[in-house]
Amino acid sequence: MPSADQSLNQQVHHLYSEHHGWLQSWLHRKLGNRCDAADLAHDTFLRLLTRQVVKPLGSEPRALLTHIAKGLVIDRWRRQDIERAYLETIAHLPAAEVPSPETRLLILETLWRIEALLRELPAVTRETFLLSQIEGLTYAQIATRLNVSLITVKRHMRTAFIACLSVA
């Protein structure tokens, strides 16, 4: 009797055989780039193989594949936005201060991890953190803007800082 892993592998192999071409074409229309579409199509099937909770793949495989692929497209766009903002920031630096390509990659990977981590925080904690760190508001100004107590702002900031430390 096949194990759950073997059964999942067989299902994914079947889905790949039947739907990979369609998914890659769908992604190409979304992204406008064949290489990115090919990467994300493969990542979609990889995500199916590595998901933590093994659920039946369902009777609408294209809906499932589209759902996974849309999430991957959004992740890619977020990463590109972060990279673009970072590159715009360092473009204004004097040549002697521009980080090496290796350092830039390390910084970008850290920024991507922080962005993913912030998305996982409760909305009010994330907003509190961004108001402080990006907009430069004081805790008192944040409390006023969000209509919460100063202690609540401090609690949200502590939660966000502890989460950010996990990236370090």
pLDDT, one tens digit per residue, over 118-127 is 999 999 999 9
**What is the maximum alpha-carbon separation in the chain?**
65
pLDDT tens digits, 98-114: 899 999 999 999 989 98
pLDDT tens digits, 19-78: 999 999 999 999 999 999 999 999 999 998 887 555 666 678 889 899 999 999 999 999
- State the average pLDDT over residues 11-25: 90
Cβ atoms of 125 and 156 within 8 Å: the answer is yes
Cβ atoms of 128 and 160 within 8 Å: the answer is yes
Cβ atoms of 17 and 11 within 8 Å: the answer is no
Q: So what's the pLDDT on residue 132?
A: 95
Question: Which has the higher per-residue pLDDT, 104 or 1?
Answer: 104
**pTM over 0.75, yes/no:** no
- pLDDT class for 14, splitting at 50, 70, 90? confident
